[in-house]
Structure 1
C-alpha cells in the first residue's frame, strides 16, 4: 500500500507540499506525535494514544490538540487506505505541531498544524540491539514526552545500525537502564519481567503499560522496577545467559532481543509468555 497522508483537512500526495516552510514543526521541531498500530484497517488503542498526545502537547507548553480534528484526519486516512487496498495491518502516525511561527523559538499561540499518515508494514519478530554510547537526560524538560525533536534518537539509532542493530538501548545520566530510541525495554531476571520506572526518563509507552496490565491479569510476574533495581550494567549479564531482554512499542508489540552488541542471546520464557498474551489481547481488545 502506498503512503496515505491527510494534512490540514485534505488528503495529499507524498510529494505534495502540505505545510508551510516556516511551520514550527519544521524549523525547530516544535511538535508532538503518536505512532499507532493498525490491525485489519483499524487503529489499536487510539483512546490511549490521544490521551498521551494531549499530555505530550501540554507538557511541551502547547495547547491541547483538537481531538475532533485529529479523529477527522484518522478517519479520512483509514477510509482512503482501505478504499485503495482493503483492510491492512500497519501503522498510523498523528503529528501535531505548533503551526506557523517565527524562525526562532518563540511561538504564535493557536496556530497548530495536524498531519495524519498511514502505511502498511510488518512487525519483525525479534530485535538485534546495541548499547548506546550516549545517555538519555532524565532531567530534560521534554523527558517522557513524545515530541518531534527526535535528533538524539536519529543519531543513536544510526549508531546501532552501524553496529548491525535495529535499536539502540540508552542509559540515563545516572547509569540506570532507560529505554530504546523508539521503544521501552523489559528485563527478564530472577523469575520476573521488569521495566524501568518512568522516573528514569523513559517514555510512558502504550505497549509498556498494556504489558504491565495484561501480564498481571494473566498471572505473570511482570512489574515496574524500583529505583536503582535496573542499572545499565544489567546488560552485561545478557550475554552470559542470566538475563533476557525484550522491547515494546507500537511498531514492535513485544519483541524479544535475540542479539545484543553483536552477540546472539536467547529470549526468556516469561518474555515469550507475555508476548503470547499480548498478541491475543491486542486483536480482541481494540481500544483497551
Structure 2
C-alpha cells in the first residue's frame, strides 16, 4: 500500500492526486510512448524549514533528454521549476520519491510520435528502503537487456520496462529478490531497475555505457565518490562468472540507493563488504547534506 503525496501536477496545474486521471484511450498507455524520471527527497535533518533533493539538476536534464526521443521539447529548467513547486505544495514529512513523467497524451490508436499531443505530470509517494539494506539475493535472468539499436536506452522510456518487469517477476517467483540481466553479447548489464558494481581485489568494476546500460545518476555519483576516496575504478564488460567469485557486488539506483548483494544464484558472496559500506555511508552523508564537499549535489527547497 503506497502513501501518495496529496498534490500532483497534471495538465499544467496542481490538483489533488485523486483527481489526476487519464483516459483509457491515452496513446502512451497503449504503446509505451512515455519517459519517466525518479528522484528522492528527505526533510532536512537539521531543520524543519526545508526539503533536500538529491541531484535535482541531473534528474531534470535526463528527463528533458528522454523527452527528445518522444519528439517533445521539455526544457530541464521548466521541469525543475515544477518539481520545486510540487515539493513546496506537498511539504513531505518523511523520505519520499518523486515521479515525473512525459507521455503522448492524445487519444488515438496509430503508433507514432509526430502530429500528436504530449504532456507532463508529476506525482510522489512516501518511500523508505526499496530493497533490504541488509542485502539481497539475485538470480541471472533468462531475459536479456534490449540493445540501443532497437530502443533508445539513454532514456528511461516506459515501454522498455516490460523487460525489467518480466525479469523482476521471474526472480521473485523463483525465490530471489532481484534479477540481473545480461546484454545481447552475454555480458553483465544491470538489474531490473539498477546499475551493478563488482569489487575484485580492491578495484571497483562496472559495465560501461557501451554495454547497453542506463546512464544512472546514482551510478555516476558512486563513481565520483569512489574516485575521490582513491578507489580504483574500471569500466569494462563484465562476465557472468565474475559475479560468482567477486569480493563484493552491489546495486545502485535512486530507489535502491546502494544495496549489497549477498547471493547470486547458489553462490554466496563474502559477508564482509568494506568498499560497499564505505560508499554507502558516504552517499548517505551526502544526501543528508552532511558532507560539505558535495553540497552542490543537494538542492534545498524552502517550505
Give the TM-score normalised by the residue count of structure 1: 0.87
Gaps of 5+ in 1: none
| CA–CA separation in structure 2 for the residues paired with 1:45 and 1:269 | 25
Q: 1:161-195: CA deviations, max 9, x gaps?
A: 11233321100011111001100000011211111
The residue that corresponds to 2:277 in the other structure is 272
The residue that corresponds to 1:255 in the other structure is 259
How far has the Cα of 1:67 moved from its partner?
A: 3.7
The residue that corresponds to 1:7 in the other structure is 10
Greater shift, 273-282 or 3-12, is seen at 3-12
Does residue 43 (structure 1) correspond to residue 53 (structure 2)? The answer is yes
The residue that corresponds to 1:131 in the other structure is 140
Native 8 Å contact 1:99 1:112 kept in 2: yes
How far has the Cα of 1:109 moved from its partner?
A: 3.8
How far has the Cα of 1:32 moved from its partner?
A: 0.7
Pairwise CA RMSD? 2.2
The residue that corresponds to 1:187 in the other structure is 198
Within a 5 Å distance, the mapping from 1:71-220 to structure 2 comes to 71-82=80-91, 86-109=92-115, 111-123=117-129, 124-125=132-133, 126-138=135-147, 139-149=149-159, 150-220=161-231
Does residue 65 (structure 1) correspond to residue 69 (structure 2)? The answer is no
Distance change (3 Å), C-alpha of 1:61 and 1:12: closer
Q: Secondary structure at the match of 1:159?
A: helix
Give the TM-score normalised by the residue count of structure 2: 0.83
Native 8 Å contact 2:260 2:276 kept in 1: yes
Q: Secondary structure at the match of 2:123?
A: strand
How far has the Cα of 1:156 moved from its partner?
A: 0.8
Q: How many residue pairs get matched?
A: 277
| CA–CA separation in structure 1 for the residues paired with 2:261 and 2:225 | 21
Gaps of 5+ in 2: 44-50, 298-303
How far has the Cα of 1:282 moved from its partner?
A: 2.4
How far has the Cα of 1:214 moved from its partner?
A: 1.4
